[in-house]
Every structure is written in structure tokens, then in C-alpha cells.
Amino acid sequence: MTITLAVTEVSKASFITILIKNQADLSHEMLQPYQKILSQKLEDKDNGITIFYEADRIIAVVALKVNTHIETGIVHEEARVRGGNICKRINYEKSAHAVVVRGSDSVSKGELLAFTEGIALANYQFLKYKSDKKQNALTNVALMDAEISPAEIDELNNIITANQIARDLGNEPVVSLNAVDLGDFIVKMSHEIGFKADILNKSQIEALRMGGLLGVNAGSSVPPTFSILEYKPDNAKNVKPLIFVGKGVTYDTGGYSIKTGPGMPGMKMDMSGAAAVVGTFYAIVKNKLPVYCIGLIPATDNRINSNALVPDDIITMHSGATVEVLNTDAEGRLILGDALSYAKKFQPELVIDLATLTGAAAAITGALGGALMGTDTKYRPTLMACGNETYERLWEIPYWREYADMLKSDIADLKNIGGAVGGSATAGKFLEHFTDYPWLHLDIAGPAILKDDEPYKLKGASGVGVRLLYAFTKKFAELN
């Protein structure tokens, strides 16, 4: 689906959506025949969708709430949700093209863009393996609005595509998207849109002594990869790079600490952090943000054979630290530890990692947001503000220094689990061990994998992190 600026008269469209907020909006010429009923709905505070069928078109009137004392992020999210709902109606009516207009300036430009974003996000489908591909009818949404520029439309289209890339990667089964396939995808994308990609193979990973990545991979017949993405535009505002690190476990069985029945399905999406980094790079490069960025993606599946790690094994990480592996299902932190250690060579301004890391974080946030930890204080408020605006929200969980003590091992430098208390915090402290730079960790185990459909998201991979990190990178450019 594409978003465009309307080039024809709005009155000629077959499906028209008009956004309103108050009685004054009912003076819009297309709403005059329906003023009485719409006026009553507004008086009754019936903020919803009203459909009017005319001879040659459908008019959908969407009433947004008047939110004078509520933060912008919540206002825009309401518009996004309404956009998701209207998308379903457009497809129900089998309309290929729709036009969106504002009743008046009572509806902000931000609300209009968020509403349209909701339509586009809701129109996503993953039909690759369906024999009967019942594709949505909607292919184009046109905005008729003098305040919206072509550049803003292009930016939004690129963000939507970036989110869809992340969702496609997350929804792809490991039989067709293993670590090598992921590296190939990244190389292909780099050629198409213009950034540098270097995919390290197993022998190169061995030369770097990445014992975490190699250890998790030991039970697999598919070799690991370590992808290095780099975008360095001539007009970059930063000298030191902004680095994104994504967990790329293409399938997680749990290893010999094997997951039980209901814990296994969906583990193809355990590489959602990696998918978010790939999608974010797409949006940043396509929209030509003036930021020097690097992406690091350690990738492998976590399977079982006679060579696989077992509890009690000790591995040596890229940093030289030794780790007593007490749970092979705590594998994400092992591959991320190597990547975070490798990031030191770039002397980064900031490193942000994303990972579906712990059920403990998901128990705290559910699908409503991600858990935030780390050592950076300079950029943390900006990242959280971007989370509130995009509604890919973050919540800081307790991250006291005592959690690090829970990782002390009797026979190695540290162990890979800390016990029953503070599971997400001890995982974060494990990762912190491999950093010596400003760093933030996003545990996205809750929002990355959706069990039910939501207004503008579908069950499965959500692509969470792409819109958040893009918004943050844009702000990062302004701060540097």
C-alpha cells in the first residue's frame, strides 16, 4: 500500500474519510447533509466511526476526541488506532483507493499523519505461504491537505515499508530464514538502497573468538553470521557512531534447557531485535538522515545435537571473559555480549541493543511496551520521549548494582543467569559487563510477538523498534 497526496478532486473518490472533532467541523461541504445526526453524535460524545452510503461513494466520518490536556503521544495514538479501524472498513467495502481529509484545523496535521500511519500499518499482510492469498483491496491512500508536503509523504512511506520489512523477517520461518539467509538479505538490501554491509562467516567469527555466538551455534548445522551494517553520509552530524545491536536468534528451542510445549511456537520471532535493526537501517538510509550509524547483528539458531552447549559448560567470550552456562535457554545474552564487546572498537557515541531477551520483562510490560535498562543518561530521556510519541513505549525497571552480584560464578568470571529474582535486570547486568561506553538495553520480549490482533497490528511479529529508533535517530541528529 502506498500513501500519496491527492491529485484529483476529493468529491470524485469512492471512499472518503473525514476527520472531525467538534461542531464547527460539520460545516464541511460534504457533511452538510448529515449535520443533524453527526451533531447529535458529538453531543452524545459518541467518538467513533459513522458510515454514510451515497450513490457513487462512501463517506466515513471519524470523530477524534478533544484532548486539550493530554500528551501528544496519546492523542496521536488514538488517531493511529482509528486509522487501523477504518482500514478494516475500507477493505470490507473492497475499496482499492481511499482519500483522507480534515474537517478543519481542529484536527492537527500530526493527527492526520498518525491516522494515515494507522491505516498503512493495519493493511499489512503476510501471505507468502497461503495458497488462497486473500489480499486486502486497499492499495492507495491519498491525503488531500495543503499542509502536507511530498517529503513528509515519502518519509512516512519509507517508515511503513521499514516496519513491514521487520515484520516480514520476524514472521519468516527458520526453514527459509536462517542466519546465512539473514546475512544475504542484508547484503541485497544494502545494494538496493545504498549502505555498506559486511557479513562475517564462521571462520571470521572464530578468528574474533566470539565464544558466545559460537557456543550458541554449536548445536546447529547452519553456521552463524555476524552482520556489520554501516551508513556514513557526508553530512553526518556525529563523528562517533550511533550503534544499534539486534539479537538474531533465528529459532530458539532453548537448547538442552529445552522449551516445553507452549513455549516453542513463535520462536522464529526470537530475532525480532535483528529485524528491527534491519528495518531501522532501511528507514534511516531511505530518508537520508544525517547520522553516522552502525548496525551489529549476531545471528544463529539455538538447536540441539551432540556438540551443543549443556548446562555447566564454560565458554570464553570475545572480550576474554569466561561464562559459566547454567541455562542454554539464556542464549540471547551470550551472542549479544560478543556484539557489545565488538562495538568497543568503534568508540561509539551511544549503543542501543534490542532483544526478545527475557520472559521476566514480558511479565512486567506485556505487549504494551519494552523494558529499559543501561548506563546512558544523556540520551535516555529523548529515547523514552520518542517511545511515548510512537507508542512503542519504554519503562525503566529496577536496575540496582546488586543485580550484578547475582551473576557471580564460583568457577568462572560470571554465570549467564542470576536466579529467580529480577530476571530482566540480571540479564541487563550480564550485557553491561561487555560495555565501556554509553549504552541502553531494550528488552522487547513483550511487544515484539503479538498473540492477538490489535487495531493497527496483527498477530505475529509486530516490527516493534523500527518506528521508535527512527524517531530517536531523527532527534539524535538535532542534538548533535
Res 261: pLDDT = 85
**Among 80, 167, 268, 333, the one annotated catalytic:** 333
Overall domain count for the chain: 2
Domain end, chosen from 121, 144, 167, is at: 144
**In a domain? residue 368:** yes
Same domain for 303 and 440, yes or no, is yes
Contacts of 231 by beta carbon, 8 Å cutoff, 6+ apart: 195, 196, 281, 284, 285, 291, 292, 293, 294
- The neighbour count for residue 137, using CB atoms within 10 Å, is 16
Active site residue 378: no
Q: Are residues 172 and 125 in the same domain?
A: no
CA dihedral (252, 254, 260, 262) positive or negative: negative
Residue 30, sorted as left (phi over 0), alpha (psi -120 to 50) or beta, turns out to be alpha
pLDDT at 161: 98
Q: Is residue 102 within a helix (H) or strand (E), and if so which, with residue range?
A: strand 97-102
The answer to the question of residue 386 being in a domain is yes
Mark whether 254 and 286 lie in a shared domain.
Answer: yes
2-20 burial code (b ≥16 CB/10 A, e <16): ebeebeeebeebebbbbbb
Does 93 share its domain with 167?
no
pLDDT score, position 12: 64
8 Å CB contact between 281 and 232: no
Catalytic residue among 259, 344, 380, 474: 259
* Torsion sign across C-alpha atoms 108, 474, 386, 119: positive
One domain for residues 131 and 195: no
Distance CA 29, CA 342 (A): 61
The residue to which cell 545471528 is assigned: 299
Question: Do 184 and 45 share a structural domain?
Answer: no
Q: Is the dihedral of CA 158, 164, 167, 169 positive or negative?
A: negative
What is the CB neighbour count within 10 angstroms for residue 402?
12
The whole-number pLDDT of residue 9 equals: 62
Residues 388 and 456 in one domain: yes
User: Is there a single domain that holds both residue 371 and residue 228?
Assistant: yes
443 forms beta bridges with 355, 371
**Per-residue pLDDT, 8:** 60
**End residue of a domain, out of 144, 168, 195:** 144
Indicate whether 93 belongs to any domain: yes
Q: 283 in a domain, yes or no?
A: yes
Residue 449: what residue type?
A: I
Asked if residue 345 and residue 208 are part of one domain, the reply reads: yes
Range of the domain at 385: 159-479
In a domain, 154, yes or no: no
Q: What is the pTM of this model?
A: 0.97
Query: Same structural domain for residues 21 and 98?
Result: yes
Is residue 232 located within the same domain as residue 130? no
User: Is residue 259 among the annotated active site residues?
Assistant: yes
Amino acid at 402: E
Q: Is residue 219 part of a domain?
A: yes
- Note whether residue 267 is domain-resident: yes
Is 108 inside any structural domain? yes
Q: How many CB atoms lie within 10 A of CB 56?
A: 8
| The three-state (H, E, C) secondary structure of 328-373, written as one string | CCCCHHHHHHHHHHHHHHHCCCEEEEEECCCHHHHHHHHHHCEEEE
The C-alpha cell 539473514 sits at: 182
> 280 with 349, same domain?
yes
Task: Find the CATH number of the domain harbouring 195.
Answer: 3.40.630.10
- Per-residue pLDDT for the chain (480 aa), expressed as one digit of tens each? 899 987 566 666 789 999 999 999 999 988 999 999 999 888 887 668 999 999 889 999 999 987 776 889 999 999 999 999 999 999 999 999 999 999 999 999 999 999 999 999 999 999 999 999 899 999 999 999 999 999 999 999 999 999 999 999 999 999 999 999 999 999 999 999 999 999 999 999 999 999 999 999 999 999 999 999 999 999 999 999 999 999 999 999 999 999 998 899 999 999 999 999 999 999 999 999 999 999 999 999 999 999 999 999 999 999 999 999 999 999 999 999 999 999 999 999 999 999 999 999 999 999 999 999 999 999 999 999 999 999 999 999 999 999 999 999 999 999 999 988 999 999 999 999 999 999 999 999 999 999 999 999 999 999 999 999 999 999 999 999
Q: How far is 234 from 175, CA to CA, in rounded Å?
A: 39
